[in-house]
Chains A and B, each alone.
Chain A
Amino acid sequence: MIRLQVANFALRDVTPGSEGPLLPPAGRLFTIVILCLSSALCVLASVSPSFADDALPVSGRLDLRGVEALDRDSVKEDPSLEGRIKLDTAGPEWRFHSWLEGGLDGSVKRPARDHSLLKNYDEVYQSNTPYLEFKELYVTRSAGDLDLRAGIQRFAWGRLDEYPPNDRLNPWDYTQFLRKPLEDRKIGVPSFSATLNEGDWTYDAVLVPVFVPYRLPLPDERWAGSSIASMIAQTLPNATITPQEPDLPGRKPGNSNAGLRMKRVGDIEWALDLFHGYDPKPVFRTTALSINPRGGAFVVDPGYVPDFHKIDVIGMDAAAVRGDLSIRAEAAYTFHRYLNIRRELWGYPAVPAPGVLPLNPIIEQKHDTLDYGIGADYRLFEDGLLTFQAQQTLTLGDVDLLYERKVETILWANLKAGFMNQKIETNLNLAYNPEHGDRMTRANAWYVFSDTWKAGVSYAAFTGPAQSLFGRFSRNDQVEGEFVFAW
């Protein structure tokens, strides 16, 4: 594994056509060190007798998937074969956990410029197939009421589904955005965490010393959705659009992400959440639109680059059971969040032409926002759980130039039902944004053949304006078939 990673990084340097800024050598070295250490931990854990309290428990799954796009103009997708292997060992004081994922990703249309196999923490655009990624890889040391953990971790703070506003520690992978559930969208981050349990109280502290950017799909991929790049692609069908890789914030202690959480268990469970660090929500700055004729085609730099800003968040969440309802609520106040103004104000021409065109240099605005929401589970019938949730974002200050309204609402409803003693599992998910009238419908049904085999069919449909949350994927209606083998 270590040899493989070194080979990957070496390959990146010599790959012809490598474009975009690379991290400074110190940053890249840091990433290599993190990944090498992680792999060494993995090897150590599997051979060390101190971990081997139980037999080495390894589990995994293979997932074969095919997507049929329902919209004729939609980007097509090849079949995917992805797998994951989990390894857990536990001793009295030390525990080790690893979750490695990888395979052939049919949504990738052209490999990202570095062709690396192992996903890294240095790039926003890194669509690759085949690929490998450590979703989680950490070691835990327990001492009494204290748990100390180091490695690649994913966290789940807050209580709401889909968009928990206090859940900021893991950036998201948007390459298959609304196709994947929240937990699969999260990118594991190299981090240290400490958890102290004192009776009904639990205190969590997290430090993410290595900045990890979110991941975006390349413009010609299925889940890129409606964007400036897709508009250019419509006008210039034979263009190769390659967005610029951003300069990431320097990897120094001052640029760490950190979070504190204090939770109390009781009749009403509640928690106070604090976060300081980079906003995991994508926002862009502009450079210049560049269209270069090359042969009979065009090479396009769309002129917008992912940008990163620090935010501070203070939030609360709570959960309680009242009668037949399991209720949860959450609120978070975010200081100094940057939001993009409407796309039509970015300075793009109606008809792009070859050359270099400067764009509006100020497309970001700083606002404070308040996110809040409430959700509940209701047992509709045996093995039938209805979940509904209402969530709003209030943007403070003048929002005239933003696409977002002063108040943005997302209403969710989800019906999860099992039949034949859970041999058939179904899920119907509806989401609606009343401010823009965009909505999403997702449905899936799984048939469990045995403990190891199951097959499922999914359907997804999106409607709404091009810049809205769900409407930007209005050409992504699809039916998907999936076979899963798990062991």
Chain B
Amino acid sequence: MNKQYNVQSTKYKANQSCPLLTPDPGRPIPNQRSGKPMLFALSCTLYSVLCTMLFAPPAFSMNGREVYEKVHEVRSRALDRETEATMILFDKGGGKRTRTLTEYSKKADPEAYKVLVVFKSPPDLKNVGFLIHAHTFSDRDLWAYFPEYKRIRRIPNSSQDDSFFGSDFSYDDFGGPPNLDDYKFSIEKEEVIDGKPCYVVEVTPKIYRKYTKYIAWVAKDLWIHVKIEYYQDKDLYRTGAFTDIRIIDGIPTPFRIDMENKKTNHRTELTIGSIRYHTHFPDDLFSQRSLERAGK
């Protein structure tokens, strides 16, 4: 990833021990029976309060879960859309391949959302389609259609973290927001990236995923990711940067996403050519019939 971030960090050291509570070996421990027990107790309490204020983790105005509720709300609002995008896949040898695609999505009631992705190029992938029906934010049906075979195949959910048609994005990246109950969130710190103040949130899945955690930089004023790092245990294996953020119909939209696999040094640059929100597509667009017709 070539993007250089302008990072201003506010560092906090949580759990650092309080020197005022550490006994001084040269100083006699006050005897509670010395006649001044109340004064001693009060002093200890004051020390404790002071230490807590100075050295405890910062009191953020909201917790990690609340941050992600905001993110979820923005991602849900962004679900009604049509996107024309180009993915360029760069391998470490300098070779590149290009995929262009159209993504349609809608909020669905009583279901969570529906998504249809149709490839326009390269020739091998032309009119190959991918359909998601999310009954809830954690329960989805997936189908893929390959025009050469004229067959629709159902795909198990276990493929959700796999590479999306050779790119460094996953199938899950093309889905809607996740079920927040499936994750634990904790704010680590605050940072400013490209002039945008961000919460840095560590997100740990409670369910099995390919990653053991990810750290996301969530823009405070926009409630979208501007940077993300995926970890397998302690190893960083995938990073993403969300740039060229524009407000379209009141929805913050990154027009460029760079995703890089740190293990393979392969990266994918996704750029949005055009996007329309509030499309209110009919349900028909997200049917198997539509999948076979490449959304037409």
Residue from A60, A182, A324, A422 in contact with B156 in the complex, judged by beta carbons closer than 8 Å: A324
**Closest-CB distance, B150 to chain A (whole angstroms):** 4
Q: Which B residues touch A377, using CB under 8 A?
A: 153, 156
Q: Are B288 and A202 in contact (CB under 8 A)?
A: yes
A183/B150 in contact, CB under 8 A = yes
**A399 interface residue per 8 A CB criterion:** no
What are the residues of chain A within 8 A of B287 when measuring CB–CB?
197
A10 adjacent to chain B (CB < 8 Å): no
Among A95, A382, A487, point to the contact of B163 (Cβ < 8 A).
A382
Per-residue CB contact flags for chain B residues 270-296 toward chain A (1 = under 8 Å, else 0) read 000000000000001001110001001
A 260-280 contacts with B by CB, 8 A? 265, 269
Size range of the chain A interface in the assembly: 35 or more
Tell me if A319 and B97 are in contact (CB < 8 A).
Answer: no
Q: Does A7 contact B (CB under 8 A)?
A: no
B163 lies within 8 A of A421 (CB): yes
Pairwise interchain contact B157-A321, C-beta atoms closer than 8 A: yes
Q: Is the CB of A486 within 8 A of B264?
A: no
Which residues of chain A from 439 to 487 have any CB-CB distance to chain B below 8 Å in the complex? 448-452, 486-487
Q: Give the complex CA separation of A427 and B150 in angstroms.
A: 20
Q: Is the CB of B150 within 8 A of A155?
A: yes
CA distance A418 to B124 in the complex (A): 15
Is B91 in contact with A423, judged by CB distance below 8 angstroms?
yes
The yes or no answer to A59 lying at the interface (CB within 8 A) is: yes
CA of A448 to CA of B98, assembled, Å: 12
- Cβ contact of B123, chosen from A88, A182, A421, A486, cutoff 8 A: A486
B142-169 vs A: 1/0 string, CB under 8 Å? 0000001111011111110111011110
Query: How many Å from the CB of B217 to the closest CB on chain A?
Result: 25
B264 and A326 contact, CB distance less than 8 A: no
* Measured CA separation A449–B91 after assembly (Å): 11
Does B126 sit at the interface, judged by CB under 8 A? yes
Whether A321 and B122, one on each chain, are in contact in the complex, defined by CB atoms closer than 8 angstroms, is no
Contacts of A195 in B (CB 8 A): 289
* Complex Cα–Cα for A156 and B150 (A): 6
Q: Is B95 an interface residue (CB 8 A)?
A: yes
Determine whether A295 belongs to the interface, using a CB cutoff of 8 Å to chain B. no
User: B107-124: contact bitstring with A at CB < 8 Å (1 yes, 0 no)?
Assistant: 000000000000001111
Q: List CB contacts (< 8 Å) of A395-451 with chain B.
A: 418, 420-423, 448-451
Measured CA separation A480–B179 after assembly (Å) = 49
Shortest Cβ distance from A448 into B: residue: B97
The reply on A78 being an interface residue by CB < 8 A is no
> Could you tell me the distance between the alpha carbons of A116 and B89 in the complex, rounded to whole angstroms?
45
Task: Report the count of interface residues on B (CB-CB < 8 A).
Answer: 39
Q: Among B123, B148, B162, B288, which residue has its beta carbon within 8 angstroms of that of A383?
A: B162
Contact of B148 among A159, A183, A418, A449 (CB under 8 A): A183
Could you tell me if A451 and B121 are in contact, using CB atoms closer than 8 angstroms? yes
A210 to B264 Cα, complex, angstroms? 54
Q: With a CB–CB cut-off of 8 A, which chain A residues contact B95?
A: 423, 449-450
Q: Does A320 contact B (CB under 8 A)?
A: yes
For the complex, is A367 an interface residue (Cβ under 8 Å from B)?
no
A59 near B266: Cβ-Cβ < 8 Å: no
Cβ contact within 8 Å between A421 and B149: no
Contact yes or no, B123 A326, CB < 8 A? no
Is A383 within 8 A of B163, CB to CB? Answer: yes
Assembled-state Cα–Cα distance A238/B40 (Å): 117
> Are A60's CB and B123's CB within 8 A?
yes
Among A60, A147, A451, A486, the most chain B Cβ lie within 10 Å of the Cβ of A451
Q: Which residues of B contact A159 (CB under 8 A)?
A: 151
Residue of A326, A379, A452 touching B122 (CB-CB under 8 A): A452
Chain B residues near A60 (CB, 8 Å)?
123
Given A321-B141, A450-B97, A451-B98; A421-B91 close (CB under 8 Å): yes
Q: How far does the alpha carbon of A317 sit from the alpha carbon of B118 in the complex, in Å?
A: 26
What sequence of 0s and 1s flags, for each residue 174-198 of chain A, a beta carbon within 8 Å of any chain B beta carbon?
Answer: 0000000011000000000001010
Contact of B159 among A145, A265, A320, A379 (CB under 8 A): A379
Chain A's closest residue to B122 (CB) is A451
Residue of B154, B165, B289, B296 touching A321 (CB-CB under 8 A): B154
A residues within 8 A CB of B156?
Answer: 321, 323-326, 377, 379
A310 at the interface (CB under 8 A from B): no
Interface assignment of A61: CB less than 8 Å from any CB of chain B: yes
What is the CB-to-nearest-CB distance from A199 to chain B, in angstroms, rounded to a whole number? 9
B268 — nearest CB in chain A belongs to which residue?
A: A421
Q: How far is the CA of A183 from the CA of B159 in the complex (A)?
A: 25
With CB as the reference atom, state the residue of chain A lying closest to B261: A421
A487 to chain B, nearest CB (A): 6
Q: Which of B149, B264, B266, B296 contacts A183 (CB 8 A)?
A: B149
Please name all residues of chain A whose beta carbon is closer than 8 Å to the beta carbon of B149 when the two chains form the complex. 156, 182-183
Does A141 sit at the interface, judged by CB under 8 A?
no
Interface assignment of A139: CB less than 8 Å from any CB of chain B:
no
Q: Looking at B141, B167, B168, B296, which has the most chain A CB atoms within 10 Å of its CB?
A: B296
Question: For residue B91, which residues in chain A have a CB less than 8 angstroms away from its CB?
Answer: 420-421, 423
Q: Check: A108 CB closer than 8 A to any chain B CB.
A: no
A54 to chain B, nearest CB (A): 9
The listed residue (B122, B141, B148, B266) touching A421 by CB distance below 8 A is: B266
Interface mask (A309-341 → B, CB under 8 Å = 1, otherwise 0): 000000000011101111000000000000000
Within 8 A of B (CB), among A366-385: 377, 379, 382-383
Q: How far is the CB of A374 from chain B (nearest CB, A)?
A: 14
Alpha-carbon separation in the docked complex, A486 to B124 (Å): 8
Q: Residue A207 at the B interface, CB < 8 A?
A: no
Inter-chain contacts of B154 with A (CB < 8 A):
269, 319-321, 326
Question: How far is A159 from B158 in the complex, measured between Cα atoms in Å?
Answer: 21
- Within 8 Å CB of A452, what residues of B? 122-123
Enumerate chain A interface residues (CB-CB to B < 8 A): 59-61, 88, 90, 95, 145, 147, 154-156, 159, 182-183, 195, 197, 202, 265, 269, 319-321, 323-326, 377, 379, 382-383, 418, 420-423, 448-452, 486-487
* Closest A-B pairs by Cβ, 5 of them: A422-B166, A156-B150, A486-B123, A451-B122, A90-B296
Beyond A197-B287, A383-B163, A422-B165, 20 extra complex contacts between A and B, CB < 8 Å: A59-B123, A147-B289, A156-B149, A202-B289, A320-B154, A321-B141, A324-B158, A326-B156, A383-B162, A418-B163, A420-B91, A421-B89, A421-B166, A422-B163, A450-B95, A450-B97, A451-B121, A451-B123, A452-B123, A486-B123
A–B complex contacts, Cβ < 8 Å, 20 sampled: A90-B296, A182-B149, A195-B289, A202-B288, A324-B156, A379-B162, A382-B161, A418-B163, A420-B264, A421-B167, A421-B168, A422-B163, A423-B91, A423-B97, A423-B166, A450-B95, A451-B97, A452-B122, A486-B123, A486-B124
